[in-house]
Structure 1
């Protein structure tokens, strides 16, 4: 059975918008350029390890387009090769042109049903990058098995946040913490399933 893993770059106050590069024009992003080389190298190592451990990617339409626009479909190198080789599932209510990244499948219809079926079909980690609205839906419907939060040492003060309004409290258990470089924290949480 598959395990849905939300993997996010997040500020101290939970903002995920326009990070880490600041290319979306929000004006409070670009966190990646504000950290040191040691932090960036350590970040890349963890992200590559995560890609090696994944069995599939699950992305919202906008995050998928972000990866394609930045050349991940044609980049060279081990990390790009690994992401290219993984099956990619894109949640979208409209048809995608392409899809432009090999091994991509568009999931249409009811998100909860489609992701539940996907968890039955894939054995191992199904990693969700970015995809804020998708993450909200997955959290709300208790489909998330793990949260991996690369936490940047910034209070952004505004913007879209990883955690939206939920129908109730979603208890989580901290299962791992790692210092990344000099200034980042990598926090791993798993939901506490209430019987």
Structure 2
């Protein structure tokens, strides 16, 4: 059975994005060799990535361009070749390599978890992550805390997330000042 894992970089005050879509400038505060190595390890354990429509569109644009321009190295190959699922009730087409559109995220992701043994990662996708949290589908939550306060932007966890106790699986400081934390439902 696949594990469904949330992965995000967030600020200390809980934002995963600035005021504008794709304002991820705070990622530069934590990015370095350690986080790059961690990202590659995660991708190598995955056999599927899951996105909401907005994140999917931005990631597809970025990684397709990275492949054309031969940037981002080894990560580019993984991102463009891995199986991807975009959860959207409105998206008509998904042109990024190896992508399937699903309409009912909770139902379809639950089925997909039963069909493989690699990890499934949800990157970004706050609205989708909230829905999957409410459906109790995450097996693990992995965050990198960036040592900054944004003060405004888009929070990863909005109101309405169910009360749930978590157990700490790992915490690891990065030399950049970031902190990796991994939790699982208790």
Q: Same fold (TM over 0.5)?
A: yes
Match for 2:101 among 103, 106, 111? 106
- C-alpha distance in structure 1 between counterparts of 2:161 and 2:74, whole Å: 41
Q: Map 1:139-158 to 2 at 5 A.
A: 139-158=133-152
- C-alpha distance in structure 1 between counterparts of 2:53 and 2:130, whole Å: 14
Aligned to 1:17: 17
Aligned to 1:137: 131
List structure 1 segments (4+ residues) > 6 angstroms apart after TM superposition: none
Q: Map 1:155-166 to 2 at 5 A.
A: 155-166=149-160
- Secondary structure at the aligned position of 1:149 is classed as strand
Aligned to 2:167: 173
Whether 2:9 is the aligned partner of 1:4: answer: no
- C-alpha distance in structure 2 between counterparts of 1:156 and 1:23, whole Å: 12
Contact 1:173–1:190, Cα closer than 8 Å, also in 2 = yes
Gaps of 5+ in 1: none
- C-alpha distance in structure 2 between counterparts of 1:165 and 1:133, whole Å: 11
Gaps of 5+ in 2: none
* 1:62-109 deviation line (CA, Å, top 9, x unaligned): 111111221346514321111222110110111343x2211100011x
Cα RMSD for the two superposed structures: 2.0
Are the structure 2 counterparts of residues 88 and 73 from structure 1 closer, same or farther at C-alpha, using a change threshold of 3 Å? farther
- Secondary structure at the aligned position of 1:71 is classed as helix
TM-score (norm: length of structure 1): 0.85
* 1:116-170 deviation line (CA, Å, top 9, x unaligned): 1111112221000000100001111110100010110011222221212236411
- C-alpha distance in structure 2 between counterparts of 1:87 and 1:115, whole Å: 13
Are the structure 2 counterparts of residues 25 and 184 from structure 1 closer, same or farther at C-alpha, using a change threshold of 3 Å? closer
